[in-house]
Amino acid sequence: MTKIIGILNLTLDSFSDGGMYYDLESAKKHVSDMISNGADVIDLGAESTRSGFTDVEEDAQIKTLLPVIDFIKNNYKIPISIDTRSSKVAMAFEEHDIHFINDVSSGFHDSNMLDTVSKLGCSFIMTHMPREHKEGKVKEFDNIVAEISSYFIERIESCKKAGIETEKLIIDPGVGFGKSGEDNITLLNNIESLKQVHKNVCIGSSNKRYSSRLFENIQTKEDLRVANLVTFATSTLSYATYLRVHDVELTKDTVQVISKAMSLT
């Protein structure tokens, strides 16, 4: 069954929930709520990756992440993912038994990242994020599925050369990262094609206004719940391995209903 990665953005400027969980008590409560609602993994990030984002100093990321990771480790038995492009941030938690490093740059931002992930022995989530995203722009693709497939074929080979086990690799096509609305929809319609490149696929479409054509009448973040429901459902039907989401309860219900229905067919 498709697994749920619950997102906790410990940032002030993330697109969907910037500032909502920046203080420690709010972060703790949100973690507890996500776990009680059925999250399979908790993903923590202290650097926004919204369009046009700016870098956050590594020591600041570590300082922000540490008390929340300690809280989780002391109170729950659930896999933890750290959302960072920095090998220094990843290595800071070497003794915390981190299960995933989630790097939106796929190891390109920090040349030491692949070796670090290999040393940690954890799983590695790689996202396709073109440089245009950080510049606040949209990249033009001739054939987005073919280009992203080639991108991940190269990244997987580089990871294997660094000593990362293939089964610990997860690819994320980066819906909403420097891509047009039509290209985002194409990616969501071609999850099964991506699974032919690598079996472990993560979809992170949660709370993203990735298609103005589809969502032209959506005015609030609450309105995005319907759009989320659709993308979660289609991704589950396409056998996505993971969904990276903000609303764990909604997603868990969706996945369980669809998985049950699929088992009956």
158: CATH: 3.20.20.20
Report the range of poorest mean pLDDT among 3-12, 128-137, 225-234: 225-234
Q: Can you give the residue range of the structural domain that contains 53? A: 3-264
pLDDT in tens, 93-111: 999 999 999 999 999 999 9
CB 185 within 8 A of CB 211: yes
The rounded distance, in Å, linking the Cα atoms of 176 and 205 is 7
Residue owning tokens 């410990």: 10
pLDDT in tens, 40-90: 999 999 998 877 788 899 999 999 999 999 999 999 999 999 999 999 999
Number of domains in the chain: 1
The rounded distance, in Å, linking the Cα atoms of 265 and 254 is 17
The rounded distance, in Å, linking the Cα atoms of 265 and 253 is 19
CA dihedral (192, 174, 253, 100) positive or negative: positive
Q: Is the pLDDT of residue 183 over 90?
A: yes
Mean pLDDT of the chain, nearest integer: 90
Residue-level pLDDT at 231: 87
DSSP H helical ranges for the chain: 24-36, 58-75, 87-91, 113-120, 131-134, 144-161, 181-188, 191-197, 224-237, 248-264
Q: What type of residue is 91? A: M
The rounded distance, in Å, linking the Cα atoms of 58 and 150 is 31
CB 229 within 8 A of CB 254: yes
Q: Which of 227, 204, 259, 262 is nearest to 41 (CA)?
A: 204
Kindly calculate the radius of gyration of the chain based on its CA atoms and give it in whole angstroms.
Answer: 17
CB 218 within 8 A of CB 211: no
Q: What type of residue is 166? A: T
pLDDT band at residue 14 under the 50/70/90 scheme: very low
Rounded average pLDDT over 208-218: 56
Q: Is the pLDDT of residue 174 over 90?
A: yes
Per-position DSSP letters for 189-235, written without gaps between them: TTHHHHHHH-S-BEE--TT----TTTSTT--STTTHHHHHHHHHHHH
